[in-house]
Amino acid sequence: MNAFIAIVRRDLLLAARRKSEVFTALFFFMIVVSLFPLGIGPETAMLRRIAPGVLWVAALLAAMLSLNRLFAADHQDGTLEQMSLSPTPLALLVSGKVLAHWLTSGLPLVLLAPVLGLQFDLSPRALGVLMVSLLLGTPVLSLVGAIGAALTLGVRGGGVLLSLLVLPLYIPALIFGAGAVEADVAGLGAGGHLSLLGALLALGVFFAPWAATAALRIALE
Amino acid sequence: MLRAHGLACDRGDRRLFSAVDFSLAPGEWLQVEGANGAGKTSLLRMLAGLAPSADGHIEWDGQPVSNVRDEFHARLLYLGHAPAIKEDLSALENLQTAAAVAGRPLDEATALAALRRIGLKGREDLPARVLSQGQKRRVALARLLCSQARLWILDEPFVALDVAAVSQLCSILDEHLSRGGLLVFTSHQAVQLGGIGNTLRLGPDPDASRPRPTIAEVQA
């Protein structure tokens, strides 16, 4: 457990020393989301309809931006070898890395989303549902992304391959995440969608670190 | 006790080495020699359990390593080619994180003492990216000072070190051996260490069909 905390602490410290990487993803999210109201025009009914999809797709793409660096630096400087030789199971250390990745790339999106949602004339209630859906969904993005990042480790042109590999796997999270907000706007309850997102998260927490670890072991050999 | 039986390494179609046998008792060291590309790093990674052997097996305390992997890793310290130093972290943070990941968290005073002893006094809080190549190696080697591991596997530990640091590293290795530790390392230079030493030379053999490395016993 000490090693888990050390990994989370180290990755947060590294992110704090390289703030530009965190802010790049955040500004990307802000700009992509803000382009839609500007491009489509101030028709509130239309904006309200597209808001969940736009916000969620932008969140997917922003989460993708930092994924290919998740394991690449550790692989290059030998840290990954040391992690795999640790008495602590590698899957637990990988979970620590994923948690740190979510704290620096997912959580800021969750906090920023309601502000950006205002541009789409979403009601306070819908903004709340949007936040909850992102809170449940962005960890899934980090977890599934970690599998992709581990599989493409050391592959030339891995960044593009990573998006081709991971974006299709993000579809369930996108459908239920955006669906929750849509259902709420339409007056149906968001509970069902959010429960399914929660189920995805539970599955991801359980299986993704294990799958990513298996892929990392292949890359290390 | 570390024993290797008939280890072999393949790179593509080429067999780098085969039939590597040795055994290492407490207080003994093994220097792996060979030309560039002879497979020294591959052998060390194999011994550390980072890469599978194409043939043969490795035993730790009489048990195949694959059966006692966790126990083996708890007693192993491996320093590879890449020194596992994060450029954006200070020497102190690097050392403390590495120790925590290796399962032995260090308090700040112990870590600072190790860094000072290895010759990094006054540079403990500088980010590693401003340190020189040799100083970065010293940050990695500071882990040896805090290590309780019995088996040390070091890949080119002497590279990029100045004369004073080389002799200091030798004395650290001597201390480890006199505590009953085991040591496997690669180096291109002749090293004078206490205890019982062996040299393992990896390389092409006149009998090309079955290259067999020679083991020469060197009493130091």
Structure tokens at B59: 């035993």
Can you give the residue range of the structural domain that contains B172? Answer: 1-75+150-220
Domain end call among B148, B180, B197: B148
* Mutation for testing the B interface, residue in A85, A86, A90, A94 having most B CBs under 10 Å: A85
Residue B182 has pLDDT above 50, yes or no: yes
A15 in contact with B, Cβ within 8 Å: no
Q: Which of B70, B80, B100 sits opposite A81 (nearest CB)?
A: B80
pLDDT higher at B188 or A201? A201
Residue B141 has pLDDT above 80, yes or no: yes
Contacts of residue A88 in chain B, CB cutoff 8 Å? 101, 103
User: What is the model's pLDDT at position B52?
Assistant: 86
Structure tokens at A38: 């500007």
Residues B143 and B155 in one domain: no
Interval B154-173 mean pLDDT: 88
User: What is the model's pLDDT at position B218?
Assistant: 43
Residue B209 has pLDDT above 70, yes or no: no
A19 in contact with B, Cβ within 8 Å: no
Residue-wise pLDDT tens digits, B10-65: 887 788 888 888 888 898 999 998 888 888 888 999 898 888 888 888 988 888 88
B75 in contact with A, Cβ within 8 Å: no
Confidence of residue B163 (pLDDT cuts 50, 70, 90): confident
Q: Which of A9, A82, A87 sits opposite B74 (nearest CB)?
A: A87
Interval A67-96 mean pLDDT: 90
pLDDT higher at A155 or A79? A79
Residue B220 has pLDDT above 80, yes or no: no
Residue-wise pLDDT tens digits, B51-100: 888 888 898 888 888 888 888 888 899 998 888 889 899 999 999 998 88
A34 in contact with B, Cβ within 8 Å: no
Interval B195-213 mean pLDDT: 65
Residue B80 lies in a domain: no
Mean pLDDT of chain A: 91
Residues B160 and B69 in one domain: yes
Contacts of residue A95 in chain B, CB cutoff 8 Å? none
User: What is the model's pLDDT at position B206?
Assistant: 42
User: What is the model's pLDDT at position A147?
Assistant: 95
Interval A161-175 mean pLDDT: 92
Residue B59 lies in a domain: yes
CA of A202 vs chain B CAs: smallest distance (Å): 26
Residues B166 and B196 in one domain: yes
Domain end call among B129, B148, B167: B148
Q: How far apart are CA A103 and CA A139, in angstroms?
A: 9
Q: What is the pTM of this model?
A: 0.88
Confidence of residue A43 (pLDDT cuts 50, 70, 90): confident
Confidence of residue A145 (pLDDT cuts 50, 70, 90): very high
3-state class of A85 per DSSP?
coil
Can you give the residue range of the structural domain that contains A186? Answer: 2-220
Residue B173 lies in a domain: yes
**A67, A169 contact by CB (below 8 A):** no
Residues B158 and B213 in one domain: yes
B220 in contact with A, Cβ within 8 Å: no
Residue B96 lies in a domain: yes
Domain count for chain B: 2
Residues B58 and B95 in one domain: no
Residues B127 and B39 in one domain: no
Q: Is the dihedral of CA B95, B98, B99, B105 positive or negative?
A: positive
3-state class of B153 per DSSP?
strand
User: What is the model's pLDDT at position B204?
Assistant: 63
Structure tokens at A162: 């990573």
Give which of B88, B61, B65, B62 is closest to B7, Cα–Cα.
B65
Q: How far apart are CA B181 and CA B193, in angstroms?
A: 13
Contacts of residue B107 in chain A, CB cutoff 8 Å? none
Residue B174 lies in a domain: yes
Confidence of residue B214 (pLDDT cuts 50, 70, 90): low
Q: What percent of chain B has pLDDT over 70?
A: 92
pLDDT higher at A68 or A28? A28
Residue A213 has pLDDT above 50, yes or no: yes
Residue B144 has pLDDT above 70, yes or no: yes
**B134, B161 contact by CB (below 8 A):** yes
Residues B35 and B121 in one domain: no
Residue A21 has pLDDT above 90, yes or no: no
B105 in contact with A, Cβ within 8 Å: yes
Domain end call among B120, B148, B176: B148
**What is this model's ipTM?**
0.83
Q: Which of A3, A78, A88 sits opposite B82 (nearest CB)?
A: A78
Q: How far apart are CA B144 and CA B78, in angstroms?
A: 10
Neighbours of A75 (CB within 10 A): 18
Q: What are phi and psi of B15, to 5 degrees?
A: -95, 115
Domain count for chain A: 1
B103 in contact with A, Cβ within 8 Å: yes
Interval B172-193 mean pLDDT: 88
Residues B142 and B164 in one domain: no
B70 in contact with A, Cβ within 8 Å: yes
User: What is the model's pLDDT at position A24?
Assistant: 92
Structure tokens at B87: 């450029």
Q: How many CB pairs under 8 A join A and B?
A: 80
Residue B212 has pLDDT above 80, yes or no: no
CA of B212 vs chain A CAs: smallest distance (Å): 24
Contacts of residue B96 in chain A, CB cutoff 8 Å? 6
Interval A161-179 mean pLDDT: 92
Is A81's CB within 8 Å of B84's CB?
yes
Give the neighbor-by-neighbor strand order of the sheet with B55-60. Answer: B14-24, B2-11, B55-60, B63-64
Neighbours of B188 (CB within 10 A): 12
Residue B125 has pLDDT above 80, yes or no: yes
Residues B64 and B116 in one domain: no
Residues B21 and B90 in one domain: no
Contacts of residue A84 in chain B, CB cutoff 8 Å? 50
Confidence of residue B219 (pLDDT cuts 50, 70, 90): very low
B60 in contact with A, Cβ within 8 Å: no
Which residues 17-46 of B have a C-beta within 8 angstroms of A? none
Residue B193 lies in a domain: yes
Residues B169 and B61 in one domain: yes
CA of B82 vs chain A CAs: smallest distance (Å): 5
* Mutation for testing the B interface, residue in A81, A92, A221 having most B CBs under 10 Å: A81
Is B50's CB within 8 Å of A84's CB?
yes
| Percent helix / strand / coil, chain B, rounded to 5 | 30, 30, 40
* B145 sits in which H/E element: helix B133-145
Residues B162 and B68 in one domain: yes
Q: How far apart are CA B75 and CA B84, in angstroms?
A: 19
Mean pLDDT of chain B: 84
Q: How far apart are CA A72 and CA A89, in angstroms?
A: 20
B199 in contact with A, Cβ within 8 Å: no
